[in-house]
Structure 1
Amino acid sequence: MPDTVIMKLLSQVTKPARYLGTEWNAVHKDWEENPARMVFIYPDLYEVGMSHLGLAILYGAVNEQPGMLMERAFAPGPDMEALLRENRIPLFSLESHRPLADFDVIGFTLQYEMSYTTILNILDLAGIPVLATERGAGYPLIIGGGPGVANPEPVAPFFDCFLLGDGEEALPEFLNLVGQLKKEGLWDHRREVLDRIASLPGFYVPSFYDVTYNSDGTVAAVVPNRPGIPERVSKRVLPDLDEAYFPTRPIVPFLEVVHDRIMLEVMRGCTHGCRFCQAGAIYRPVRERDLAVLLRQAEELVRHTGHEEISLTSLSTADYSRVEELARALVAAYGDLGVSVSLPSLRVDAFSVRLADAVQQVRKSSLTFAPEAGSQRLRDVINKGVTEDDILTATAEAFRAGWQAIKLYFMLGLPTEGEEDLQGIAGLARRILYQGRELAPGKKPTVTVSVSSFVPKAWTAFQWEPQDPVAVLKEKQQLLRNHIKGPGLRFNWHDAEISYIEAVLARGDRRLAAAIMAAWRRGARLEGWSEYFSYACWERAFQETGLDPAFYANRQRREEEVFPWDHLDFGVSKTFLLRERRRARAGQLTADCRSGRCTGCGVCPGLGVDLRLKGGPEDHALADKV
């Protein structure tokens, strides 16, 4: 794409820096010298996509390798989309401004079900047919990855293949194969290409599997339709993060993005076993990075980015074996430079004053906890593993340490939830506020309660459960609005209709692709943003395609039901999840296998991996030296 054309477009849009591609640390590799060419797309606006650690990791891992390149693209803003369509200009990559159709591979990360219509819109803007069956030789191969591939079936008709699991090693292997196929003159033979891709561990080619349905609409079976294809595709797992690639020269955006900071991944995986949590299941086992590795990475990241904040990133950062030593070492090393250390939402049973002190020395902010449920009974159902005393002890320590703003995250509509559980949310918020006023006299403490709606997800103990109907979720939101109000109390909630569509797609099958297409054709896109979401659009799409959304979102599944994703293998066994569902009904807790005996989830023996916990005495000595 000529720069003169690009510059003319940029003069007519808001935030033109979204489309420049010349940021600090951006990589511009020679097109001709790298025959395997991929563009990575985060299907949302630049500000969201550039906050994604997975993009930074894969961008660096691929571009470090000879013979291959990766560029970036994002969903354009509405103003840019209008200009592209009006001027018949195809969507282009950031680095070289080449049309997306020029690349061999287009990769989408599936982070959120509400991005699916945006994926179709991006393909259409690129002049690429959205259905895989309509793409032959001459079109890029479309691959998906990320947590959404835990159940990719609703979007399977749009993709050629999916990568399950960790991509740091798998994606360069895949692009090496792309280069080899081009060298052999086979790249235009799509069936041969897909055959070779299906032979790579962790790669799922949906067109090689047929789905049959029972008379009641449930899935009867998902089986290979050609010889040599595995009945189940297992995810890829990096056994040791210390040996894995991690970017220490990430791109520094020109404009403010959602997470404008260094993201230091301390570990991957979580074994607390919250029964609603998909990430806790599909990212097992826990693998920690060594303290020395993290300190070295932090030093390089500070030097190469100029960011003023280091975020210690993982699903449960406070559980990292040496989180206190790491936080104190980073504050000691970079506090005088004005670089702060932050942690994501803390598990309240892992909170300590020492950890709070370590991260507050440079810059204070609000502190966030996620009790998830308002009563002890319901917290036991979901296996949260914390008591109200744990919560109040943690918030008291926070107020004493100087915090004045506490944020609490809860879910509405959890299985077995009743009105007393909802009243418990309001009561807990008030008790914490009163506690803050007692412990911080003369101050004005605030407690913010944020509630989302429970969305049943694949690979969880609650994958059999129905979601509450939209009307019920709205009634529960109204009840909380009536009880969480007054000075010092704030209440935020998530759109119940968005959560409903998310629930439809989260456990859907391939038939839903028709509804996704219908919604997109009616204008659905950028639906992670409430201002662009239209529930009426989806209602019409379901009517047009004859699909019942309640069948997917509000239906109780039978224990023996075949799920659309049963031919995929993320390590956690269905037997274990069913056992956890029954324990939930009995209010029984399941211990974390990090500190207790094996819970029999199936990941370690099934995938040939194991927990990797770091932090021996040598790490203590290292932290003391920093």
Structure 2
Amino acid sequence: MIKLEPEILQAVEKPARYTGHELNAVHKDWDEVDCHFALAMADTYEVGMSNLGLKILYEVLNNRQDTACERVYAPWIDMEAIMRDRSIPLFSLESFTEIKNFDFLGFTLQYEMIYSNILNMLDLAGIPIWTKDRSDVDPFIVGGGPTVYNTEPIADFFDFFILGEGEEVISEVAKTFVKWKREGKPGGRKGFLKKVAKLEGIYVPSFYNVKYNERGYFSSIEPKEPEARDKIYKRVIRDLDSVHFVEKPVMPYIGIVHDRIMLELFRGCTRGCRFCQAGTSYRPIRERSREYLRELARKLVDSSGYNEMSLTSLSSADYSCLGELVDDLFADFEGEKVSFSLPSLRIDSFSIDLAHKMQQVRKSGLTFAPEAGTQRLRDVINKGVTEENLMTAVEAAFKQGWKQVKLYFMMGLPTETDEDIVGIARLAEKVARKYKEVKGKWGVTVTISVSCFVPKPHTPFQWFGQLPKDEFERRQRLLKDSITERAVKFHYHDARVSVLEGAISRGDRRISQVIYQAWKDGAKFDGWTDLFKEDVWHEAFRKCGIYMKEYSERTRDFDEPLPWEHTTPGVSKDFLKREWNKAVAEQLTEDCRRGKCSGCGVCPSLKVNIVDWKRKEGEVKANV
């Protein structure tokens, strides 16, 4: 067990990141269980403690009598320096056990810019970074989460990946391990990987051969073990009411990014925004029942003491019983001073009415996501909202007392022109002027936040070449110069980070050499702008003989083999091609939840029969 001396904690920023012993943390006798699982996020405590997926898996694993699950996060720069200076290995927060002594180390892969931190944590733990270098005494390194649908850039660092939703499969992995261990660990490390590879949704990269053509482009990936499948489909939970959700969240001693209860209403989104990887990878739509959500809400408040609850999902306002659920929650917690919030709003009056009801005490501000500045480009990305929708929504909001509005946009979308960039400024200014029209005076703040578009695997824009950094920066300057209203504030993302994310997100296994080289040369916390080392990454590409722009800026052909097609969320390539062509033609695709099937392929490929709850004439009816 690791012991931290008081002078160590006194020497670092936010020592509570490393002390453990929080309320609801689970402590088990190490010798009383057969499986020891460490769940990790390669970012700070405040970020990792906010991740809902890790909270769920923590309880799922600890509910097993044969398994102990503990937590570990990336130490901040100051703590890492002390750990390396004093040879303190990476340790868990529950028992302060060295991470290398666990059976599994599972990372949630939230986005590509944490990859260098993963290597740093493995090194701090004393675990060989490359899969091929690990022995039978090393933990199995597992990955899951949003970026798991192209894990090729980090495939050589991981023993296996879990595709899709983990509540069921993570327990199957633990069960498989315990059985293998009790049988005497037949076949050693590879023996267990052969067993786990038979589970649906498991990808073992070392069981595949990767080939490249004469130009150096990826050409194929082929199974080399009988347990390896040609294509690995994600795991999907059919009935969300039947699986465990967080009931006793671990309570932090310090403020975290999402310092509130998160009540997940449903999973999936069928609105079909063509840039959105989450919209394809989390399909199909599955809702929790009102009754179950009320029960969960009561348990969460009682076990945590939180007085703020966020009703979360990809598009929370699309929950079919949202109005009724909000009424239920207000009735259930009347007099308890519990507040509720929606992290995402539709651009319509229904959302405004709900937000008004939920924020009667304090109106903190509203957030909408038009995504593009002109109707033409909103049609290209299949956003499905108009300027009239936005103006109607903000007019209703201003009449009810709001005076802060945040608008999210993307820059660098396919077919974007300077006219579309200037359109962002004009749209924001119209929102500001709408306030003066409604209230008869100025007093509103309209903040536009503009991210740099990154083409992602398994989206209709996966073939599209990303803009160069210089062009992103030119368009940022153009937008800034186009804003004339003082009420409009402009925030934008770091284009340097976005183009690197673009190169990694569509990379193949050769990118692992670049990530390793960049980490060796000092890259870490790349998602933190003040710590990002652009020159280190560019030098790493050069040292490895890999041309970064071939991955970020090159537009792929439809028939070109893609390194991520063997791991799939179930959306068909034919559907993605159709959506690309409709984007070029500026044509919309109807939301299949409100109209006809769009033929994305998810339901048949995943063999699911999903009941889609719809609002109709004041009732909730089922449509299969």
Looking at structure 1, the residues matched to 143 and 606 of structure 2 have their Cα atoms a distance apart, in angstroms, of: 21
Give the match's secondary structure for 2:480.
helix
Partner of 1:81: 80
Looking at structure 1, the residues matched to 325 and 278 of structure 2 have their Cα atoms a distance apart, in angstroms, of: 24
Question: Using a 3 Å threshold, how does the CA distance of structure 1 residues 30 and 619 change in structure 2: closer, same or farther?
Answer: farther
Q: How much does 1:486 deviate?
A: 4.3
Give the match's secondary structure for 1:520.
helix
The question of whether the paired residues in 2 share the 8 Å contact of 1:367 and 1:406 is answered with yes
Q: How much does 1:272 deviate?
A: 0.5
Give the match's secondary structure for 2:325.
helix
Q: Structure 1 counterpart of 2:8, which letter? A: L
Structure 1, unmatched stretches of 5+, are 622-626
The question of whether the paired residues in 2 share the 8 Å contact of 1:414 and 1:454 is answered with yes
Partner of 2:375: 376
Question: Using a 3 Å threshold, how does the CA distance of structure 1 residues 376 and 315 change in structure 2: closer, same or farther?
Answer: same
Give the match's secondary structure for 2:32.
coil
Listed as ranges, the matches of 1:243-254 within 5 Å are 243-254=242-253
What CA deviation, in whole Å up to 9, does each residue of 1:228-250 have, x standing for no partner? 42111111100010111101111
The question of whether the paired residues in 2 share the 8 Å contact of 1:324 and 1:358 is answered with no
Partner of 1:624: none
The question of whether the paired residues in 2 share the 8 Å contact of 1:356 and 1:401 is answered with no
Partner of 1:331: 330
What CA deviation, in whole Å up to 9, does each residue of 1:266-322 have, x standing for no partner? 000001010000000011000011011111111111111111211011000010101
Give the match's secondary structure for 1:513.
helix
Q: How much does 1:350 deviate?
A: 7.2
Q: Structure 1 counterpart of 2:194, which letter? A: D
Q: Structure 2 counterpart of 1:534, which letter? A: K
Partner of 2:272: 273
Partner of 1:110: 109
Give the match's secondary structure for 2:580.
helix
Q: How much does 1:338 deviate?
A: 2.2
Looking at structure 1, the residues matched to 10 and 158 of structure 2 have their Cα atoms a distance apart, in angstroms, of: 34
Question: Using a 3 Å threshold, how does the CA distance of structure 1 residues 594 and 616 change in structure 2: closer, same or farther?
Answer: closer
The question of whether the paired residues in 1 share the 8 Å contact of 2:349 and 2:396 is answered with no
Listed as ranges, the matches of 1:249-398 within 5 Å are 249-334=248-333, 336-349=335-348, 351-398=350-397
Q: How much does 1:21 deviate?
A: 1.5
Looking at structure 1, the residues matched to 236 and 450 of structure 2 have their Cα atoms a distance apart, in angstroms, of: 33
Does 296-305 or 256-265 show the bigger shift? 296-305
Q: Kindly indicate whether residue 530 of structure 2 is the aligned counterpart of residue 531 of structure 1.
A: yes
Normalised by the length of structure 2, the TM-score is 0.97
Q: Structure 2 counterpart of 1:426, which letter? A: A
The question of whether the paired residues in 1 share the 8 Å contact of 2:9 and 2:15 is answered with yes
Looking at structure 1, the residues matched to 497 and 227 of structure 2 have their Cα atoms a distance apart, in angstroms, of: 41
The question of whether the paired residues in 1 share the 8 Å contact of 2:454 and 2:498 is answered with yes
The question of whether the paired residues in 2 share the 8 Å contact of 1:291 and 1:619 is answered with no
Partner of 2:436: 437
Q: Kindly indicate whether residue 562 of structure 2 is the aligned counterpart of residue 602 of structure 1.
A: no
- Root-mean-square deviation over aligned CA pairs: 1.7
Q: How much does 1:77 deviate?
A: 0.6
Q: How much does 1:9 deviate?
A: 2.5
Listed as ranges, the matches of 1:392-541 within 5 Å are 392-442=391-441, 444-484=443-483, 486-541=485-540
The question of whether the paired residues in 2 share the 8 Å contact of 1:289 and 1:614 is answered with no
Q: How much does 1:556 deviate?
A: 0.6
The question of whether the paired residues in 1 share the 8 Å contact of 2:435 and 2:441 is answered with no
Partner of 2:49: 50
Looking at structure 1, the residues matched to 186 and 52 of structure 2 have their Cα atoms a distance apart, in angstroms, of: 31
Partner of 1:565: 564
The question of whether the paired residues in 2 share the 8 Å contact of 1:138 and 1:188 is answered with no
Give the match's secondary structure for 2:612.
coil
Partner of 2:151: 152
The question of whether the paired residues in 2 share the 8 Å contact of 1:163 and 1:202 is answered with yes
Question: Using a 3 Å threshold, how does the CA distance of structure 1 residues 166 and 6 change in structure 2: closer, same or farther?
Answer: farther
The question of whether the paired residues in 1 share the 8 Å contact of 2:251 and 2:304 is answered with yes
Q: How much does 1:363 deviate?
A: 2.9
Looking at structure 1, the residues matched to 350 and 424 of structure 2 have their Cα atoms a distance apart, in angstroms, of: 20
Partner of 1:171: 170
The question of whether the paired residues in 2 share the 8 Å contact of 1:515 and 1:541 is answered with yes
Q: How much does 1:188 deviate?
A: 7.4
Structure 2, unmatched stretches of 5+, are none
What CA deviation, in whole Å up to 9, does each residue of 1:57-97 have, x standing for no partner? 00011101110111000000111100100001101000000
Does 393-402 or 512-521 show the bigger shift? 393-402
Listed as ranges, the matches of 1:54-203 within 5 Å are 54-186=53-185, 189-203=188-202
Give the match's secondary structure for 1:168.
helix
The question of whether the paired residues in 1 share the 8 Å contact of 2:429 and 2:485 is answered with no
Q: Structure 1 counterpart of 2:94, which letter? A: E
The question of whether the paired residues in 2 share the 8 Å contact of 1:331 and 1:358 is answered with no
Q: How much does 1:529 deviate?
A: 1.0
Question: Using a 3 Å threshold, how does the CA distance of structure 1 residues 288 and 102 change in structure 2: closer, same or farther?
Answer: same
Looking at structure 1, the residues matched to 323 and 213 of structure 2 have their Cα atoms a distance apart, in angstroms, of: 54
Question: Using a 3 Å threshold, how does the CA distance of structure 1 residues 356 and 508 change in structure 2: closer, same or farther?
Answer: same
Does 223-232 or 576-585 show the bigger shift? 223-232
Give the match's secondary structure for 1:201.
coil
Q: How much does 1:337 deviate?
A: 2.3
Q: How much does 1:351 deviate?
A: 4.4
Looking at structure 2, the residues matched to 619 and 131 of structure 1 have their Cα atoms a distance apart, in angstroms, of: 57
Question: Using a 3 Å threshold, how does the CA distance of structure 1 residues 616 and 437 change in structure 2: closer, same or farther?
Answer: closer
Looking at structure 2, the residues matched to 610 and 619 of structure 1 have their Cα atoms a distance apart, in angstroms, of: 25
Question: Using a 3 Å threshold, how does the CA distance of structure 1 residues 2 and 277 change in structure 2: closer, same or farther?
Answer: closer
Looking at structure 2, the residues matched to 32 and 6 of structure 1 have their Cα atoms a distance apart, in angstroms, of: 26
Give the % identical residues: 50
The question of whether the paired residues in 2 share the 8 Å contact of 1:290 and 1:615 is answered with no
Q: Structure 2 counterpart of 1:189, which letter? A: G
Q: Structure 1 counterpart of 2:120, which letter? A: N
Q: Structure 2 counterpart of 1:226, which letter? A: E
What CA deviation, in whole Å up to 9, does each residue of 1:93-129 have, x standing for no partner? 0000000001000000100100000000000000111
Partner of 2:17: 18
Give the match's secondary structure for 1:281.
helix
Give the match's secondary structure for 1:32.
helix
The question of whether the paired residues in 2 share the 8 Å contact of 1:290 and 1:614 is answered with no
Give the match's secondary structure for 2:576.
helix
Give the match's secondary structure for 1:490.
strand
What CA deviation, in whole Å up to 9, does each residue of 1:176-227 have, x standing for no partner? 1111111111177111111111111110000001111111222211110122
Looking at structure 1, the residues matched to 245 and 186 of structure 2 have their Cα atoms a distance apart, in angstroms, of: 30
Looking at structure 2, the residues matched to 116 and 440 of structure 1 have their Cα atoms a distance apart, in angstroms, of: 49
The question of whether the paired residues in 2 share the 8 Å contact of 1:137 and 1:188 is answered with no
What CA deviation, in whole Å up to 9, does each residue of 1:374-419 have, x standing for no partner? 0000000000001110111111111112110000000000000001
Question: Using a 3 Å threshold, how does the CA distance of structure 1 residues 305 and 483 change in structure 2: closer, same or farther?
Answer: same
Looking at structure 1, the residues matched to 491 and 452 of structure 2 have their Cα atoms a distance apart, in angstroms, of: 12
Looking at structure 2, the residues matched to 209 and 291 of structure 1 have their Cα atoms a distance apart, in angstroms, of: 44
The question of whether the paired residues in 2 share the 8 Å contact of 1:265 and 1:313 is answered with yes
Q: How much does 1:585 deviate?
A: 0.4
The question of whether the paired residues in 1 share the 8 Å contact of 2:108 and 2:145 is answered with yes
Looking at structure 2, the residues matched to 304 and 537 of structure 1 have their Cα atoms a distance apart, in angstroms, of: 46
Normalised by the length of structure 1, the TM-score is 0.97
Q: Structure 2 counterpart of 1:66, which letter? A: Q
Looking at structure 2, the residues matched to 618 and 579 of structure 1 have their Cα atoms a distance apart, in angstroms, of: 34
Q: Structure 2 counterpart of 1:222, which letter? A: I
Q: How much does 1:349 deviate?
A: 4.4
Looking at structure 2, the residues matched to 619 and 156 of structure 1 have their Cα atoms a distance apart, in angstroms, of: 50
